[in-house]
Amino acid sequence: MKARLPKGYSNGGANNMQQIARQAQKMQEAMETATEELEAKEYSATAGGNAVKVTVTGKMEVKAIEIQPEVIDPEDAEMLSDLIIAATNEALRAAATEKEETMTSLSGGLNIPGLF
């Protein structure tokens, strides 16, 4: 006895695989474009009431650190260091969060190792 496929189903396995491959290629191209755009963006964060401002790129590289002169106290270098670290970490978090949100929206929530 032969099994029958429900109406509307065909033995188009090869066509389906080609369609899936095309969709995956489109998704990968969209993710590559998004990655390039995100890497070109800049993210800034401040600490200590705008005493320190750090700007990073989407490539997770520090681009600029701005320090207000009034917070430079030779007697309290540790506080300045803490402000720089706080602002840098916040800017890096903002860049990472946007990248994750963008990639998740492009992939439809799929977690495909090695794709991004």
- pLDDT single digits (tens) 57-89: 999 999 999 999 999 999 999 999 999 999 999
Identify whether the C-beta of residue 42 lies closer than 8 Å to the C-beta of residue 57. yes
pLDDT at 49: 93
**Domain count of the fold of the chain:** 1
* pLDDT over 80 (residue 110): no
- Where in 21-112 does DSSP place strands (E)? 42-47, 52-57, 62-67
Q: Is residue 13 in a domain?
A: no
Q: In terms of Cα–Cα distance, which of 109, 108, 99, 111 is closest to 32?
A: 99
Q: Is residue 110 in a domain?
A: no
pLDDT at 45: 96
Give me the CATH number covering residue 61: 3.30.1310.10
